[in-house]
Amino acid sequence: MEQNKILHNGVAMPVLGLGVFRSEEGAEVENAINFAVEAGYRHIDTAAIYGNERGVGKAINSCGVPRSELFVTTKLWNAEQGYESVFKAFDKSLARLQTDYIDLYLIHWPVKGKYKESWRALEQIYKSGRARAVGVSNFMVHHLADLLPEVEIVPMVNQVEFHPHLQQPELLKLCQKYQIAHEAWSPIMKGKADQVETLVEIGRNYNKSGNQVALRWELQKGSIVIPKSVKKERIIANAAIFDFNLTNEEMQQIDRLDLNQRIGPDPNNFSF
Ligand code: NDP
């Protein structure tokens, strides 16, 4: 398994990243990033709304790995969607992250009536070279079908909730068709993949946990994973997913666990 996915513009994106949603600004997020870098992670997933971009910036600038070897994602918050407002939001994220470019800038949620305008601004930011890649998040099939006919630049990534209980196979197929890299949030179901019997049983074949099996299944589906933890041991465990391979039969067993069940908000029905 390759450690990087090559996006449609040629940029290499590590297929494993550290999520930092609900990692506290300050020592907590900084320590988490230091543990992760030490464990081999080279990709951090934050967002303006997480309120921890300053800590992320501090950690990426002091962790000992050059900025050019790290891949940093941040996201445009819903309240800042539009056209002009996007440039301001982007500049604020850059300032908080203490960096002069972002590796991947995402529209966080498909805000009705706004996301097309926002996308035009992301295209401009991409062309200016201040984001090495741009993409969307929480876009379902119908959102992409609505956006794609009007874009100049096809989004490089779509980051969505994805795990054995929420698979949305049509969305995955559509992303593959347009070479939009598929990225999984809540990839270990907030730690609950360890309570899914089939995952735990499959894990016994490899001395892996249910969480590790979920992550491996996602990678073998072609997705990019960003498990979140602030705990050193868990950060290390969540990265130990490159030394085993699920068989076709095991992949299909996990495919059958789909319940179309969300942990997080529904992109068709959110009010924030
Ligand atoms: P995850 O599936 O990554 O689960 C994180 C939770 O599981 C935390 O409570 C963590 O606690 C716990 N955990 C982590 N590792 C283990 C382990 N090995 N064993 C048991 N428990 C564990 O959920 P997230 O929702 O955080 O998703 C991951 C990332 O995706 C986010 O951090 C964020 O970057 C991104 N995201 C994006 C969204 C979007 O709208 N685009 C929405 C939601 C998330 P602890 O820290 O205490 O270890």
Length of the chain: 272
What average pLDDT does this structure show over 94-104? 98
Assess whether pLDDT exceeds 90 at residue 192.
yes
Tokens representing 193? Answer: 């993949």
Q: Tell which residue, 236, 241, 201, 235, has the closest CA to residue 217.
A: 241
Residue 159's pLDDT is 99
Using 50, 70 and 90 to split pLDDT, how confident is the model at 107?
A: very high
Confidence band of 1 (pLDDT split at 50, 70, 90):
confident
Nearest 10 degrees: Cα torsion 107, 111, 113, 117:
-10
The pLDDT of residue 32 = 98
Q: Is the CB of 228 within 6 Å of ligand 1?
A: yes
pLDDT digits (tens, 9 = 90+) for 57-66: 999 999 999 9
Residue in 41, 50, 105, 115 annotated catalytic: 50
Residue to mutate, 190, 215, 217, ligand 1, most ligand atoms under 8 Å from C-beta: 190
Q: pTM of this prediction?
A: 0.99
Q: Across-strand partners of 182?
A: 158
Q: What percent of the chain has pLDDT over 70?
A: 100
